[in-house]
Amino acid sequence: MLNTELERERRWRLILGKTEQEENSGQGQSQERTSAEGESGSEGQSEAEASDGLSEEDSAIDETLEQLYGEGNKGGDGDSNPDIARWLGNINKYFPSSVAQIIQNDAVDKWKLKSLINEPEFLERLEPNVSLVSQLINLAKLMPDETKETARQVVRKVVEELKEKLEYKFLQALTGSLNRSIRVRKPRKHREINWFSTIKANLKHYQPEYQTIIPETLMGHGKQKNALHDVILCIDQSGSMAESVVYASVFGSVMASVPALNTKLVLFDTNVVDLSDDLADPVDMLFGLRLKGGTNIDKAIAYCETLIERPRDTVLILITDLFEGTGKKDQLINRLSKLAQTETKLVNLLALSDQGIPKYNKEIAKQLADFGVPSFACTPDLFPELMGVVLSDRSLQEWASQNPQLTLA
């Protein structure tokens, strides 16, 4: 009986929104949270959110509804509007499609998004950027065909500018790391040893009394004809991950052009889709996405495991905030733990964007850290360097700790 009453109170609280007392309390907590975040990252935020008695997920739902239906949000084109792409992602994440459609239509009216959806001329006047692409991906299903074509041109312009900006630096980092990987590759068999390189690398270990060299480091020939590494980009497309999807798609396209890398791109929400064959044209891939809600990370990792044929030569980049939805959390932890114990290089990015570290599941992030896998948000400018570190077998934890702009979870 008590559980029924609590559930009834919970539902009424989410329907009616914050009381005046909670609003006033929230303003005070906001100031405290700003101070706390300056000292301890996102921990202060979690404590403030939990103070109203709602669970973490209910607090997120409440905040999402408050942004649209709260009395303080009067609509218009000002800064009071939330990040539209992030907000739309949360709507799809927390509500069934029939409800999400109603809420989304309310947002279109209140935040004056009709111009963005229905007027190609308006869209042409906007400055193209990743944030705009994220919004267009989320709103694509509402657009008429004429606006869709203009939106596709906007997406293509942003993708081409990103590739021009990031491709050279990325290829430099990859080339240097792959060349080093060829040189230091540990030979498994006697015939794979490159004796010239091995002798040259170990001259400092020459023993005059024995007139010989102690080969502390064995150098291999490497695999010049085949891909040196398999790279799997596994990206959460639910919630607020739209910008990460944009950047990862561009980087995936660049990596797909490198013969030494065998690149796979896997996207997931509650379903898993392998888009590896579409990496040649990231524009079509992005505009063809239908970002939905929900998350099943365990299902995505299970699929990625089927792609791993050479664990020692495989890098799995998991991009997610670690909030498991329909999947079983214990099963996910067990799967990640076993994967971390293999020779597969596992990297977890909470986001690949310019927006900093997002809200994330601290419990799973801590357990990953216990496995030796750090979790942090990475900016696009640092991603080439990150891939260079991983491909050259350097310590990712050490690299991350030496970059002050990265916040380790």
Residue 215 sits in the same domain as residue 337: no
Residue 323 sits in the same domain as residue 364: yes
Tell whether pTM > 0.75.
no
Structure tokens at 272: 């898993």
| pLDDT value, residue 82 | 55
Q: Would 248 be classed as within a structural domain?
A: yes
Helix, strand, coil percentages (3-state) for the chain, rounded to 5, are 55, 10, 30
CATH code of the domain in which 340 resides: 3.40.50.410
| pLDDT value, residue 317 | 96
Q: Which domain holds residue 237?
A: 169-178+227-401
Residue 217 sits in the same domain as residue 294: no
Residue 288 sits in the same domain as residue 241: yes
Residue 206 sits in the same domain as residue 341: no
| pLDDT value, residue 70 | 77
| pLDDT value, residue 39 | 39
Q: Would 126 be classed as within a structural domain?
A: no
**How far is it, in rounded angstroms, from Cα 92 to Cα 292?**
5
Residue 354 sits in the same domain as residue 386: yes
Residue 201 sits in the same domain as residue 342: no
Q: Would 259 be classed as within a structural domain?
A: yes
Question: 163 near 251, Cβ under 8 Å?
Answer: no
Structure tokens at 195: 């004796």
Q: Would 266 be classed as within a structural domain?
A: yes
Query: Alpha helix locations (H) across 185-223?
Result: 195-201
Q: Would 256 be classed as within a structural domain?
A: yes
Q: Would 31 be classed as within a structural domain?
A: no
Structure tokens at 349: 């990015």
| Per-run averaged pLDDT (10 residues), the chain, 409 residues | 70 71 53 40 40 71 82 46 66 76 74 76 81 81 85 90 84 67 55 71 84 79 61 85 88 86 92 91 81 82 96 93 86 93 92 81 91 88 88 83 75
In total, how many domains does the chain have?
A: 2
Buried b (16+ CB within 10 A) or exposed e, 118-133: eebeebeeeebebbbb
How many other C-beta atoms lie within 10 A of the C-beta of residue 31?
Answer: 10
Question: 320 near 301, Cβ under 8 Å?
Answer: no
Question: 371 near 397, Cβ under 8 Å?
Answer: no
Residue 239 sits in the same domain as residue 331: yes
**CB neighbour list of residue 182: distance below 8 Å, 6 or more residues apart:** 222, 224, 228
Residue 325 sits in the same domain as residue 375: yes
Residue 199 sits in the same domain as residue 289: no
How many other C-beta atoms lie within 10 A of the C-beta of residue 194?
Answer: 18
Work out the angle at residue 344's Cα, subtended by the Cα atoms of residues 340 and 349, and round it to the nearest 5 degrees: 70
C-alpha closest to that of 382 among 129, 169, 199: 169
| pLDDT value, residue 110 | 72
C-alpha closest to that of 41 among 381, 359, 291, 309: 359
Residue 278 sits in the same domain as residue 244: yes
| pLDDT value, residue 85 | 63
Question: 202 near 215, Cβ under 8 Å?
Answer: yes
Q: Would 286 be classed as within a structural domain?
A: yes
Residue 205 sits in the same domain as residue 283: no
| Residue 9 burial (10 A CB sphere; 0-12, 13-18, 19+) | exposed
Structure tokens at 163: 């590739």
Q: Would 58 be classed as within a structural domain?
A: no
